[in-house]
Structure 1
């Protein structure tokens, strides 16, 4: 099965309507889900944007629908704004081992 690469920027807005205990539980669940997605190979890289509630990530999935399903499985999804860029190979990129 072929995969597509996506660069995803996620901006998090902490929900005002949940308690601190609920927010802590959401953060733990978010971390666990991110680890599952990394172990599956779908979430290839993950970076934070220092000083902000934001992240950049590199995804390798079968297509846009698979990416959407993975992103919406994140427990914090209702409070996330996502920007998605599909990536294509660059003709000047060196092949591995060259």
Structure 2
């Protein structure tokens, strides 16, 4: 699987029914848990004092990321996203190095 850094910003439409907003937010938490269990959502952060999120996500490719992962989030229709495909860096201190 490939890794992606994804920044998500949610903008609730003006005039949205508060009950619908609450329903979607509750469903979002459930879906995020499912995506974590499936190995797609690895980590999720919220910058201090902001209402956006930054996450480490995994998918086979960008098509799967948008179609079968992010696109299934209940808040997705209200979200804007910035996706950055990631690759390993040779100096990554978390990288496992095998002697051969």
Length-normalised TM-score, structure 1: 0.89
Unaligned runs of 5+ in 2: none
Is 2:10 the partner of 1:12?
Answer: yes
Q: Which position in structure 2 is the counterpart of 1:66?
A: 64
Inter-partner Cα distance in structure 2 for 1:72 and 1:58: 16
Q: Which position in structure 2 is the counterpart of 1:45?
A: 43
**How many residue pairs were aligned?**
96
SS at match of 2:32: helix
Q: Which position in structure 2 is the counterpart of 1:93?
A: 92
Length-normalised TM-score, structure 2: 0.87
* Residue of structure 2 aligned with 1:28, choices 21, 26, 29: 26
Inter-partner Cα distance in structure 1 for 2:97 and 2:87: 20
- Superposition CA RMSD, Å: 1.6
SS at match of 2:5: strand
Unaligned runs of 5+ in 1: none
Q: Is the 8 A contact 1:13 1:53 kept in 2?
A: no
Inter-partner Cα distance in structure 2 for 1:23 and 1:97: 46
